Structure 1
Amino acid sequence: MKKLKLLQDMHEAGVVAVLRGNSPDEVVRMAEKAIEGGILVIEITMTVPFACDAIRTLAMKYQSRDASGDNYAIIGAGTVLDAETARAALLAGAEFVVSPSLDEPTVRLCNRYRAPVLPGAMTVKEITAALELGVDVVKLFPGNLYSPSIIPTLRGPLPQANIMPTGGVGLENLKDWVKAGAFAVGIGSDLTKEAVASGDFDNITRKAKAYMEAYRQAKV
């Protein structure tokens, strides 16, 4: 049941912050600012040095939901290339795993531990292969190679597929992706690049609020 509840919560949250940085402290700070702005699904990429330290810190802080639901966020791991990395991330507290491509051992490991796994895919063949392995959500990556109309196109032959575009999703096209039927959307550097360049990490909070408002408007 926990896996199903996580998937439901991720779908309802709608926006996933994909965070990359130069250190665990930097991405933890990014995550805190994004959560402050209302983005409640955080993906820490395993390209961050000592990424598991960041996942552990965030999991300990945010994965203890109180009675009112405050101080809660879903923390996961991204850019997971193999099962060994997935296992390390899960042990550190990650609640979901995202991969840039479909790796069968990674999917099987996540299924073993009932952890949502979102592998990257680009074609009907890849999405079908993911579904056959029991994948619940496929990451359309890189999303900037497509227009939002790709989702209903793919779901013509595969109506059972849940698709999350990542890469190329911004404030200007988020509504189009949501209206096209995206399970959720992944937001990457657009959320953080200005903050990193200026040193004003409060900009992440402002951007996060803008993304969540755009998402709410798209769902109307």
Structure 2
Amino acid sequence: MKKWKTLQRLESVGIIAVVRGDKKGEALQTSHAIVAGGIKGIELAFTVPQANEVIRELVEFYHDNSNIIVGAGTVLDAFTARLAIVAGAQYIVSPSFDKATAEVCNLYQIPYIPGCMTITEMQKAITSGVDIIKLFPGSVYDPSILKAIKAPMPQLNIMPTGGVNLTNMIDWFNAGAIAVGVGGSLLAPAASGNFDEVTKLAKQYKEKYQEIRK
């Protein structure tokens, strides 16, 4: 039941912000700026120093807000996945599929979203209990690829990540994406400390998403 509810929330938020940063403080400020702009899905990359601490602080800070969902990204192995889950991560995202990570996530009833590029990889992932496939990197595809993928495997739930922006987001959703992962196009101002601009961009993404869903 826990896993199912999380999957429903991921589909509901629609946009997952992939948060990176050179320092713990930067990642925290970026996350808060994104939430302030209306995006409720945070994927904290494990390339961030002390990533598990950032996840723990975010989960504690938004504990009373059931609309906010915090997960871990760039998880490469089962050990890191468990570290993130213990810290409070509500879902796990990887750039590629790892069976041991899938098993750990299944054990704790945490959704696992691995990056896949081919039908073979996707079939292997869902056979191991994966519910959402991260099409990565999305920048090398046209949104029409989703129709081609879903023709033989209509049961797939796909979240394109990489190259998704304000302009093409509507094309991905119209093509059948269950959600999208957004990174560079949203977070770029954070590198120079302009978190107000991050909030402004997050609002634009949220408004665009609401228009698409209508």
TM-score range, shorter chain: over 0.9
Contact 1:164 1:184 in 2 (8 A): yes
Alignment of 1:37-186 (within 5 A): 37-65=37-65, 72-186=67-181
Alignment of 1:17-56 (within 5 A): 17-56=17-56
Residue matched to 1:209: 203
Amino acid at match of 2:118: T
Contact 1:34 1:204 in 2 (8 A): yes
The alignment-based identity, stated in percent, is 48
Give the structure-1-normalised TM-score.
0.95
Moved over 6 A (4+): none
CA RMSD of aligned residues (A): 0.9
In structure 1, stretches of 5+ residues that fail to align are: none
Contact 2:26 2:190 in 1 (8 A): no
Q: CA offsets, 1:162-189, max 9 Å, x none?
A: 0000000000100000111101000001
Amino acid at match of 1:176: D
Q: CA offsets, 1:186-213, max 9 Å, x none?
A: 000111112323x221111110010011
Q: CA offsets, 1:84-124, max 9 Å, x none?
A: 00000000110100000000000010000000000000001
Give the drift of 1:23: 1.4
In structure 2, stretches of 5+ residues that fail to align are: none
Give the drift of 1:64: 2.8
SS at match of 1:169: coil
Give the structure-2-normalised TM-score.
0.98
Amino acid at match of 2:20: R
Q: CA offsets, 1:130-188, max 9 Å, x none?
A: 11001000000000000100111100000000000000000010000011110100000
Number of aligned pairs? 214
Amino acid at match of 1:36: A
Give the drift of 1:214: 1.0
